[in-house]
Amino acid sequence: MAALHELAPVTGPVEHHLGGRHSAPDVAAHRAAPPSAWVPVPVCTPSCLPAEEPGVGALRFASRLGGLVVVLVAAVVGVTALRGGARERWLRACASGALRAAGVRLDVTGGPSRRRVDGAGGGPGFRDMRAARRGTRRREKGDSRAGNGGLADGERGTRGGGVLVVANHLSWIDVLALYATWPMRLQAKHEVRAWPVIGSLASRTGALFVDRAGLRDLPRTVAGTADALRAGGTVGVFPEGTTWCGAAAGTFRRAAFQAAIDARVPVRPVAFTLRLAGGEATAAGAFVGDQTLWDSLRRVLRLPGLTCGMTVLADIDPADRDRRGLAAAAATAVGAVTGTPHPGAVGHRSAGRPVPVAA
């Protein structure tokens, strides 16, 4: 249990290729942090973000913002009205639509869900939602492949069995990318439940809320996650516990991996990267430190083009591993793709080399 409070060691300023400067955390700030082994202390701050450059025009910005609002409202309405597979397809389509509306291109490689959501034009994203609606109608007529991105219902993230999806955490974009790729339940801090719109969506989609202010609730969270996995569900977790700018990364906390061991299900690492339209890595889309959600949204909506790269890596069998080894293996796999090592992962003997899953 003591391992839950491990934080990334940062020994000094780190210059990096993402257009910012990463400063060492203030020791006094760490000492003044809440006395909890679970609450992560953010190291990345808005100072990690690159300086803003001229972006899209006011009309394009307004179009993106309006489209994003419409998609989020539609998501709430659909999730409230629909049930079962129809709700899953609608949520997946709305997540894709939200990325498209925000001007974010999702590029998924590896795994059964290789796909691309093209948001470069910043369209309102209604095509994804119309496709989901058509898919629901076809489903009612007996088409087993309808509305699921060309995948049969049995060929989802888990292929019929539970799986724990673990990913590095850069931004709110990561959450939409996961929802756009697989039907899943996400772990979320309990404060999210009170957020307007987002809290309602999270609750209605079965989010597993975590109280990070203390450890007493942790066994219940691990048990609930294990139960969801045993039932054949896909559960998504960001084991770093907070967002990072991409030039630095956090320790993969071990508690979530215990759920995979208890449920005897594989762990699927996912690596997220952010790139500008020209292909260069960027921290411009990161959502870090005390940055407000509106400031992050505004920055993303102004970008001429942003690509969220999502690499789905080979499943890791939890057999013969403890949670320390499982966390290290997943962190090493993710770090090999992003180019940013996670503390406690590099050099772990059992981690092996990450191999993208064949499409």
- What digits encode the pLDDT tens for the residues 43-85? 888 888 888 888 889 999 999 999 999 999 999 999 889 988 8
Q: Which residue has the higher pLDDT, 220 or 28?
A: 220
Q: What is the pLDDT of residues 308-318, one digit of tens each?
A: 999 999 999 99
CA 14, CA 260: separation in Å to the nearest integer?
34
What pLDDT sits at residue 264?
A: 95
* Cα 93 to Cα 100: distance, rounded to the nearest angstrom: 10
In the three-class reduction of DSSP (H, G, I as helix; E, B as strand; rest coil), residue 99 is classed as: helix
> Environment class of residue 167 by beta-carbon count within 10 Å: exposed (0-12), middle (13-18) or buried (19+)?
buried
What's the pLDDT band for 216 if we cut at 50, 70, 90?
confident
Cα dihedral 117→123→128→131 (10° resolution): -130
Is 46 within 8 Å of 286 (Cβ atoms)?
no
pLDDT, greater one: 109 or 149 = 109
pLDDT of 208 strictly over 60: yes
pLDDT for residue 139: 45
Beta bridge partners of 107: 116, 309
pLDDT higher for 44 or 352?
44
**Residue 165 clears pLDDT 90, i.e. is over it:** yes
Mean pLDDT estimate for the chain: 77
- Return all residues near 76 (Cβ < 8 A) that are at least 6 apart: 197, 200, 201
